[in-house]
Chain A
Amino acid sequence: MKKLTLTRGGTAHRTIMLVTVLVLVAVALYLPHYYAPYRVFQFTEVLVFAIAVLSLNLLTGYTGQISLGHSFFFAIGAYTTAVMFRDLDVAFVIPFVVAFVVAFVVGFLIGIPALRLSGVYLALVTIALAVITPPLLTRFEGLTGGSQGINIDTPTAPAWSGLADDQWLYYICLVVAAVVFLLARNLVRGGVGLSMTAVRDNELAARTMGVNPAVPKTRTFAYSAGFAGVAGALYTLVVGLVAPGSFTIILAINLLVGTVVGGMATIAGAVFGAAFIGFVPVYTSGINPALGGVIYGAVVILIMFVMPGGVMGLARRIRGWLVTLEEPADRRRASGTGQTETAGSLPAARAGAVDGGTEQSGTTDPGTAQDDRPGEQTTTGDRREN
């Protein structure tokens, strides 16, 4: 079969990307109208777990800090929300924000001692977090409802929407997930994301290049915990019950399984990872209720052998078989230094003579194409004339 050749950021490439995204969005929007309520509920859960898996992937995939304690941050978000719904008459959005902030701050604080540890030592310390979560929740009965947990009323669909409650919940989770995925993508795509992977790949070289490893590590810990908290908040909303038994180390391990199965250091992989931990245990129990756990474990092992890069790694390999992605010719040439408002920190940009040439939009990288503004001028002069 002949391989398709595409130019990165070219019309064909962008069309394919756009169509893919539109199809996915359409499927995501249509799902709750196609399936029965119990299925919709499962998909809603998958969305919740997708946020949690993504949060862990930021930390473990991008900065290489292994956490086996993300059930802790998930529980913080879940209980913060449950307590707020029980004790306060709060508007709908506020619990998400509070859950994010509380988990974010706790995550940041835990991220500081975590700086001194890496690899399996950090994993061990975070296991402690996961282990203490259920007893801690049981202990402070006045606040957490002890082993009984807290019941709250799950939101009902407003009349104007014309939706059933399960559909309404699904859409809430879809919107929140979309926002979190967008924020996470923002974080990893630029220079900050590069500092995260640089620290993971080679901490010493990163430091020599001016990256203070403590910054990406503690900040990522905080954002990761915060997003896990948001997932926990959604969980409370969806399930309507929080109890210590839901936040055991099994949850933390499942999140790590989801991270690896989806693909380390990928954003979209979290959806597949979450679908895996959401659906596969159900199916394996269906095959044989007594051996469900064993079959699930075997499937995880099999996947690690067959697709070590996870679902996204496999997707990239398949794309590699089908498509050759070429860089557009103009990006290979020197385009000089952009004359921008950051020029204050870039002496060369100031020194370069402006020749008034504007870059052609449409031939640049899709990530930057939207930043093309007609007024932005580029120079073709020497990079460093001073």
Chain B
Amino acid sequence: MSSTKIFLKSSDDKTFEIDETAARASETLKNIIDGGCLDGVIPLPNVSSNILPKVIEYCKKHGGDNGSSKKIANGGVDKDKEILPDYDEEEDKREKVRVDELKKWEEEYMDFDQQVLYDLMLAANYLHIKGLLDLTVEKAASMIRGRTPDQIRENFNINSDFTPEEEEEMILIEDEWDDEWAFD
């Protein structure tokens, strides 16, 4: 595919450049491109200039190879292989290296604070970038996993709005599902 340049405009009127192939990682952009409505700059009123470069970075990495990004997003397959090091086929080895690299990249990529996380998640949702959405959602989930409701409230700045009676009920539920869930 040719490397046509696409221009994206953030909510605060800054313009960013992205290859068409990379842009196709986003369903939304892909539809715009395929729909032939490409008219110079694509405005993205929901994405700020703080976040857009981050999004573009992801798209660049994942633009061409839907396959492996999907694999990473699904998470399952490569984990399998870690457990099973004696997977002896060459092909699998190469695949593993690729997946590992991608995984490492994603780890570094995902190193940011909560606010960015939300914004990125919203942007991924808006732009329909499945892999990125999965990544961000999973990260958010990891911030909830294994925590008590109190910790979650604190972490996410949420106030409990239960009535005292409901509160009691919640405590019961909470106890019932107390941690040490073996497979957390």
> Do these two chains really belong together in a complex?
no
Which residues of B approach A to under 8 Å, CB–CB? none
